[in-house]
């Protein structure tokens, strides 16, 4: 028979395997470059309109990335067809040039929680994320991800 402490450890382990994400997807960029024409599209079906959700962007660049941030537009289309658009800055490096994100070899992973709220209605939501900079191409960008917890 299992002891109470063994059961508690097992439950804690199983809980840690559930990281709380209801959605987690990544859009990769060809040639490690994010062009103005390249839109990351994320679609998800929402049934829970009561729970508060954290909305997180994850950007992976190489250590050759030239700037200390990256501006993006986030456009959301709700199931009823209403849309919203917001500009968001993803901080990547401090003024001294050190990375704010997690560095592994030549990759830098930066995360930004950009909102926290429940979904207002049930149905399919479409998130479109575009490069909001003045440049046609942003080199050394590997991918961008959307995670909803």
The model's pTM is 0.85
Q: Which of 138, 116, 134, 122 is nearest to 40 (CA)?
A: 138
In order, the DSSP letters of 111-148 are EEEEEEE--SSSEEEEEEEEE-SSSSEEETEEEEEEEE
- Mean pLDDT (the chain, rounded): 90
Distance CA 91, CA 86 (A): 16
Q: Dump pLDDT digits (tens) for 27-71.
A: 999 999 999 999 999 999 999 999 999 999 999 999 999 999 999
Helix (H, G, I), strand (E, B) or coil at 108: strand
Is the pLDDT at 130 greater than 70, yes or no?
yes
- Per-residue pLDDT at 19: 73
CA 13/CA 10 separation, integer angstroms: 5
For 119-131, what is the mean pLDDT?
97
Q: What is the pLDDT of residue 18?
A: 52
Strands 123-131 and 33-35: unpaired
Q: Give the separation between CA 40 and CA 143, rounded to whole angstroms.
A: 9
Residues 42, 47, 48, 49, CA torsion sign: positive
Residue 6 predicted with pLDDT over 70 = no
Task: Tell me the per-residue pLDDT of 102-111, one tens digit each, with 9 for 90 and over.
Answer: 999 999 999 9
Pairing of strands 102-104, 40-46: unpaired
């Amino acid at each position: 028979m299992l002891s109470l402490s063994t059961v508690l450890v097992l439950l804690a382990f199983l809980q840690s395997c559930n990281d709380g994400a209801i959605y987690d997807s990544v859009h990769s960029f060809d040639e490690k470059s994010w062009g103005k024409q390249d839109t990351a599209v994320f679609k998800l079906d929402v049934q829970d309109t009561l729970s508060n959700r954290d909305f997180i962007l994850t950007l992976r660049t190489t250590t050759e990335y030239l700037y200390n941030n990256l501006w993006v537009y986030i456009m959301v289309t709700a199931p009823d067809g209403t849309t919203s658009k917001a500009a968001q800055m993803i901080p990547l490096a401090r003024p001294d040039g050190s990375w704010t994100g997690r560095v592994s070899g030549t990759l830098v992973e930066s995360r930004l929680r950009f909102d926290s709220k429940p979904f207002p209605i049930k149905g399919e939501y479409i998130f479109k994320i575009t490069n909001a900079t003045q440049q046609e191409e942003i080199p050394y960008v590997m991918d961008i991800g959307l995670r909803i917890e």
